[in-house]
Structure 1
């Protein structure tokens, strides 16, 4: 039986305006977009689903329990209200691109779920130079409670496929971008480098509004979050091993609920008083390590991605 709510073209069967789905990647300004752009009705957006509902409906549900008609029913009212106000409904969560900590094992399955629920969606993909990306992802891993050293994190024991782990090829962006283009149509998928957002935010936002047929708008200004230093996070890693329980570190020796917030505050205080030269030295050590580990493994991938998205990634420091 045909689902009466399944859209084939905008406006058919009373379906509301086409959504924009922002899938990440991680560490590419997603929080800034969610808190400053996708909530701005003056630009033309309505954030109908941020991280929590997106993660629940598109990632958290068991594969055998996912039902696209239920997803459409859940968001139909909010999408309809957005359309009635002339706004583009937005779904945004970097987890839609997959988890870098699990090698993007469900990236393709998540794309299939999105296509089943909203086949007429427009897709925004944001990418980042891989060495910078890997360093930022590892720092986030430590902030959440991870206990592996940098080398251990990048060279995770895969065992016999028991659990997903970090994979370098997760950051070969052409695979995911190409798959979304095959699902939604090349004209409906926009992929942009995070570095464009940092250096030319008006152009970055203009490309998004252009995809959606919205008027040009000035990007909102806001402060960037300051990440804890490599040194303070290296110290936190020792505490994580013993105290912090998280999905990335499920069995600390002495679990202390709530301790992670205390450790975050300690990192900030440490960075405020530690000698700047010492912090820079440790940061440089991690960058050098990433450079050595990554080498030229992404050169071919970045050339393909550049061609695929129409952007010369070398202009933004990609290998």
Structure 2
């Protein structure tokens, strides 16, 4: 690493659907002394390079220079990088998780890492809902069962928090990892952000400036998702290009359709007509995932002392 890089870097790697959008909008922007590299890095040259460059072409210097330039332009020498895609693309088996973790180590060897987790089956359903909202066409059970050579699909390893924690602690050191359950943040947001700010070294009085209790990116009902999933066969998305032009962002039609479903159809029709609106896994898939996560969660709770049982996480008896 170049000696000229003197930025203190904190990286919030995810998970998605653990209030990351809210934290990017309302928490990290209030972290005094830090520049916040949030959604803006997603399609920046260095941000795309970090997660998508071929291994043979990857340049840590390019990424470092992008971060340094951003910080210099804002007159700060500390940065919080927040992007849940840093744990890999959840709709593509998250197969870049380990690669990106190692790239982050190459770029920022002294970084501190923030990880928020969520009970796996609830998070899986939220990830699937996001997949459909972005253009996916598979059912929930199909999405969880897709295997190679399909690029799209869900890998249970992605939510094996014991393995992910071990990966990052081995790379950056256990003392540099802030690991917490989303359920704690949801139940006690002010208390939890106070703990996080203390870990970051941010003045406690900045907590007063945060707008709490705002939900961002609420999931749709299973009925609305079913309608959207059918329409996705004929609407361009990153899962369905419908043409030769490279797909770079969601068409406005998809954005407006989603907002219409979220603001009108779901609350004013679906949730008044149907008593059951939550996504459900088939019994066979549910049992398979439950068995897998009980073991990994028990390992994490035992080794790291994380209080998972009181928040409904699956644990071995």
- Fold similarity call, TM over 0.5: yes
- Provide the residue aligned with 2:48 in structure 1: 56
Q: TM-score, normalised by structure 1?
A: 0.84
User: Structure 1: which 5+ residue stretches go unaligned?
Assistant: 6-12
The question of whether the paired residues in 1 share the 8 Å contact of 2:132 and 2:225 is answered with yes
The question of whether the paired residues in 1 share the 8 Å contact of 2:14 and 2:86 is answered with yes
Aligned-residue CA RMSD in angstroms? 2.7
Match of 2:134 among 137, 144, 148: 144
C-alpha displacement at 1:297, in angstroms? 2.2
- Residue deviations 1:19-78 (CA, integer Å, cap 9, x gap): 111100111111111111111244x43203534136413102222211111221222133
Tell me how far apart the structure 1 counterparts of residues 286 and 26 of structure 2 sit (CA, whole Å).
Answer: 33
User: CA distance change for structure 1 residues 149 and 287 in 2, over 3 Å: closer, same or farther?
Assistant: closer
The question of whether the paired residues in 2 share the 8 Å contact of 1:98 and 1:106 is answered with yes
- Provide the residue aligned with 2:156 in structure 1: 168
Match of 2:195 among 201, 207, 222: 207
For residue 55 of structure 2, give the secondary structure of its aligned residue in structure 1: coil
- Provide the residue aligned with 1:232 in structure 2: 224
Match of 1:286 among 267, 274, 280: 280
Q: TM-score, normalised by structure 2?
A: 0.84
User: CA distance change for structure 1 residues 280 and 233 in 2, over 3 Å: closer, same or farther?
Assistant: same
- Residue deviations 1:208-255 (CA, integer Å, cap 9, x gap): 2232233334253252033322211111111112x2222223459xxx
For residue 286 of structure 1, give the secondary structure of its aligned residue in structure 2: coil
Tell me how far apart the structure 2 counterparts of residues 81 and 205 of structure 1 sit (CA, whole Å).
Answer: 27
The question of whether the paired residues in 2 share the 8 Å contact of 1:16 and 1:80 is answered with no
Tell me how far apart the structure 1 counterparts of residues 87 and 101 of structure 2 sit (CA, whole Å).
Answer: 8
User: Structure 2: which 5+ residue stretches go unaligned?
Assistant: 244-249
Map 1:132-281; keep pairs closer than 5 Å.
132-159=122-149, 163=151, 165-216=153-204, 217-218=206-207, 219-225=210-216, 226-241=218-233, 243-251=234-242, 258-268=252-262, 269-274=264-269, 276-281=271-276
For residue 110 of structure 2, give the secondary structure of its aligned residue in structure 1: coil
Tell me how far apart the structure 1 counterparts of residues 236 and 280 of structure 2 sit (CA, whole Å).
Answer: 25
1:70 aligns with 2:62: yes
Tell me how far apart the structure 2 counterparts of residues 318 and 249 of structure 1 sit (CA, whole Å).
Answer: 35
- Provide the residue aligned with 1:299 in structure 2: 294
User: CA distance change for structure 1 residues 306 and 77 in 2, over 3 Å: closer, same or farther?
Assistant: same
Tell me how far apart the structure 1 counterparts of residues 152 and 273 of structure 2 sit (CA, whole Å).
Answer: 35
The question of whether the paired residues in 2 share the 8 Å contact of 1:40 and 1:46 is answered with no
1:45 aligns with 2:34: yes
The question of whether the paired residues in 2 share the 8 Å contact of 1:230 and 1:282 is answered with yes
